[in-house]
Structure 1
């Protein structure tokens, strides 16, 4: 092996020149690209963490709003249920009152009709009695005629 000092020195000088060339033209650009990429990744991670926190806040807010809406919905349903029950009670009460009025009116009408029929019956009885009296006065009647007239009177009153 023949290694010469000159070759070693030239190799070292070449290596230093290449190293300086790479450092000047490539390492700074590569380092800059790597740093930029690291910054982008860091910003993306920070933004993701920020978005995650914001999503948690929105989730809590949305859940709170949903719970409030459910409670409001329940209270509205209960309120309308109570109103419906009141209206139903009022309708039932009014219907019952109306039915009582109709029954009362019907009873009064029946009573009037009954009185009217009784009055008519009395008038007919009086008329028949008058007719019977006039017949009795027109002729003198014996007991047999008297019985016959009473039987006729009873037959007419019965009809």
Structure 2
């Protein structure tokens, strides 16, 4: 019986030639397209990875830009609130100042009214004193007085009326 592999001269050479021809045919038909497919696939994967990395970098840059914008907006919001608070405080101070000025004007008017009322009271008092003096004078005229009696009447009158101020 002969085995599958026999070491006969021509058969071995023919087997070697067949394996070589099969290798060349497979190389042309199968290996080359498979190698090209694998190279293309590897290039596509590499490009996809590079594209993903590029997009990640862009996304990071956009994220950083948005974070900076957000910080700027927050700062702007704080500034707006600060300005509004300052304006409100200024307005409140202005209102308080106006109220103080109005109070001062009212006090001044009240003082002027008091002064006028004092003057009016003084004039009324003067008029009443004049009336009293006239009555006293008429009594004096009705009665003849001596110098002592005259001085006595004046002293009594002054004592009764008190030391009123006759001048403003």
Scaled to the shorter chain, the TM-score interval is 0.5 to 0.7
Matched, 1:88 2:100: no
1:94 alignment partner, SS class: helix
Greater CA drift, 145-154 or 82-91: 82-91
Matched, 1:158 2:140: no
- Deviation per CA, 1:31-74: give whole Å up to 9, x if none: xxxxxxx9xx8799578646633541441232132132133214
Report the Cα offset of residue 96 of structure 1.
Answer: 3.2
TM norm structure 1? 0.62
Matched, 1:126 2:101: no
Greater CA drift, 44-53 or 103-112: 44-53
> Residues 66-145 of structure 1 correspond to what in structure 2 (within 5 A)?
66-145=70-149
TM norm structure 2? 0.59
Q: Write the distance in 2 (CA, Å) between the matches of 1:46 and 1:86.
A: 59
Q: Write the distance in 2 (CA, Å) between the matches of 1:147 and 1:111.
A: 35
Greater CA drift, 121-130 or 90-99: 90-99
Higher relative contact order (CA 8 A, sep 6+): 2
> Residues 54-69 of structure 1 correspond to what in structure 2 (within 5 A)?
55-69=59-73
- Deviation per CA, 1:106-148: give whole Å up to 9, x if none: 2202211210221122022112101101211222122232122
Q: Over the residues paired in the alignment, what is the CA RMSD in angstroms?
A: 4.6
Number of residues of Structure 1 aligned to a counterpart in Structure 2: 158
